[in-house]
Structure 1
């Protein structure tokens, strides 16, 4: 609901509201990368980036990780929201 985007954005500011995912959470979290609301895409980029990054559990399917990396790289280059591009760019540089 676009009407609650501001409220959600406040709760999901860096340093608050972020969660820690595990492999079981990926199917639902993956949907966030393509959500129409930028705040949801921002949150998804950060939490998925943490999960698939060097500090993640390391037991994820490599094909799935490669697909997620590719999608986050696409967001870093092409997302219409500058904050999504910035956050996704951190993964692209690591």
Structure 2
């Protein structure tokens, strides 16, 4: 039950985040996507939090969807077990790497 609900919540977070991105980057002027503007924005703690929430939401949402595909279409138990382990390990590694990058900026 909770995983299904979290999948829907992360979907909403992704839609809101993408809309905010499109408005900021495409409708608020050309000076918003210069290197200096982007680096200034990324140094703000609220943007770091936004990026981390967006990253975690995207990883959870995407890999939960992949997990559903594995459960639905993979018949081999050994392949299914391997893929489920990879579906856990890969997003954890990507999240660690992404959070590290966000905090190093």
Q: TM-score, normalised by structure 1?
A: 0.31
Bigger share in helix: 2
Higher relative contact order (CA 8 A, sep 6+): 2
TM-score, normalised to structure 2, is 0.29
Query: Which has the higher Rg, Structure 1 or Structure 2?
Result: 2
